[in-house]
Amino acid sequence: MIEKTERLLSVLKLQPVVPVLIIEDLATAVPLARALVAGGLKAIEITLRTPVALAAIEAVAKEVEGAVTGAGTILNPEHYAAAVEAGAQFIVSPGTTPDLLDAADDHEASFLPGASTASEAMILRAEGYEVMKFFPAEQAGGAAFLKALSSPLAGTLFCPTGGISLKNAMDYLSLSNVICVGGSWVAPRELVAAGDWAGITKLASEACALTA
């Protein structure tokens, strides 16, 4: 567990924002990932919300130099295994189940489990997890909620995701118990559809500069 935690931390410390991507068109996966990496966002979460998601993970993992490919919206052990087989180096879930924790034990890929309450975070701590996804961040209490957890759950780190944008990202990143945030704003659908990779690289660079 310690080794997996260290590997996960090394990924999440790469940048202040982890792009959370929904890939609709497989042809966009590689150029999109290259644009994000060019802007400094190397760790990339591709969510399993579309039929091409696994193929997109595989393509990015194989073809995009410098990318650290992750898989999100992992809901069950089958998703977990398929994502790892496709090349995912880290796994992200919106919540946590006993089956997912068992799957994490069975695979080398690091696991970022989801929690949205103090009780869920405490359960994960009891399982040995010190780094968690806080989702859905804005709807579950936002930065104020995480700030309130920082003292009673000292030593626990969060990657809040959900409703975060360039405007409110620093509300989270300024907290001592936030290691990074997840966000989709760095790859807006309209820019992806237009193939505006330069525009996405610019957004990625702006995101990287948040904590510079």
pTM of the model: 0.96
Active site residue 78: no
Mark residue 169 as left, alpha or beta (left: phi above 0; alpha: psi -120 to 50; beta: remaining).
Answer: alpha
- Say how many residues make up the chain: 212
Question: Which pair of structure tokens corresponds to residue 31?
Answer: 């150029």
Active site residue 45: yes
CATH of the domain at 10: 3.20.20.70
pLDDT digits (tens, 9 = 90+) for 56-107: 999 999 999 999 999 999 999 999 999 999 999 999 999 999 999 999 999 9
- Residue of 42, 58, 133, 138 marked active site: 133
pLDDT, residue 59, reads 98
Provide the domain count of the chain: 1
How far, in Å, CA of 174 to CA of 143, rounded?
Answer: 9
- Say which residues have a Cβ less than 8 Å from residue 93's Cβ, sequence separation at least 6: 72, 73, 74, 75, 100, 111, 112, 113, 114, 133
Main-chain dihedrals φ then ψ at residue 46, nearest 5 degrees: -105, 120
pLDDT-derived band of residue 212, with 50, 70 and 90 as boundaries?
confident
Mark residue 40 as left, alpha or beta (left: phi above 0; alpha: psi -120 to 50; beta: remaining).
Answer: left
Spatial contact of 50 and 27, defined as CB atoms under 8 Å apart: no
- Let me know if residue 81 belongs to a domain: yes
- Residue of 4, 45, 58, 138 marked active site: 45
- Let me know if residue 40 belongs to a domain: yes
- Let me know if residue 210 belongs to a domain: no
Domain extent at residue 170 = 2-205
